[in-house]
Every structure is written in C-alpha cells, then in structure tokens.
C-alpha cells in the first residue's frame, strides 16, 4: 500500500509511518463465493510490536445482488480501530462506485 494523496502523506509523515507498506496476509479459510477469512500482520505502527488482525468476508446472495459483510478484530487501540474502519469504508466505497459504473 502506498499513500498518494497529500493528506495521507502528511499524516503518515507526521506519525512516523512509512509511505509504503507491504500487506502480509495469511488466509485461514476459503469457501468459494461464500466466505474468506484471513489474518493481516499489523507491522506498520510506530512503537507497537507487530500483531495479527483477523478479518472475515462473508457474501450473502439476495434478490438485489450480493451483500458483502466485512468484520475484523479490534486493533490495539480504539484510535487505530477507527482508522481501520475509515480505511475500509473508503475502499468499499470505491468498490461500490466501480460496480455501479459497470452496471450502467
């Protein structure tokens, strides 16, 4: 992952984080078209020993399409959990826009 937007870059520099990090995940469960579980190594937080954060992605078919539910473990501090929530909301919002554009 690489920070490219000026606010991201400013924040990352301010808190002493690298502008680029490599995501390290280990898949723990794969059920095609239904469920994906994995752990992500949080090794990018200044002053915090690396630790794993469990994630679960579940897909639920519906009349309107597919509903995706993402859950993940709380991080070491509420502030970091909220940052993760905001990051996922941003990424999933981008995904929704791509899907909407393709659907016409």
Inform me whether the pLDDT recorded for 104 exceeds 80: no
Q: Which of these, 61, 60, 42, lies nearest to 51 by C-alpha position? A: 42
Q: Mind listing the pLDDT tens digit for each residue in 4-47? A: 888 888 988 888 888 888 889 999 999 999 999 999 999 988 89
Q: What angle do CA 19, 20, 23 make, to 5 degrees?
A: 140
Q: Which of these, 10, 28, 30, lies nearest to 19 by C-alpha position? A: 10
- pTM of the shown model: 0.81
Domains of the chain, each with CATH number or no CATH: 24-103 (3.30.310)
Q: What percent of the chain has pLDDT over 90?
A: 58
Inform me whether the pLDDT recorded for 2 exceeds 90: no
């Amino acid at each position: 992952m690489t920070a490219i937007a000026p606010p991201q870059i400013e924040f990352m520099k301010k808190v002493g984080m690298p502008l680029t990090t490599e995501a390290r995940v280990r898949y723990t469960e794969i059920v095609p078209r239904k469920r994906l579980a994995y752990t992500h190594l949080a090794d990018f937080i200044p002053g915090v020993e690396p630790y794993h954060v469990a994630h679960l992605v579940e897909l639920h078919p519906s009349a309107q399409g597919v509903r995706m539910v993402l859950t993940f473990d709380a991080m070491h501090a509420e502030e970091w959990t909220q940052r993760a929530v905001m990051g996922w909301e941003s990424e999933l919002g981008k995904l929704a826009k791509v899907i909407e554009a393709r659907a016409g």
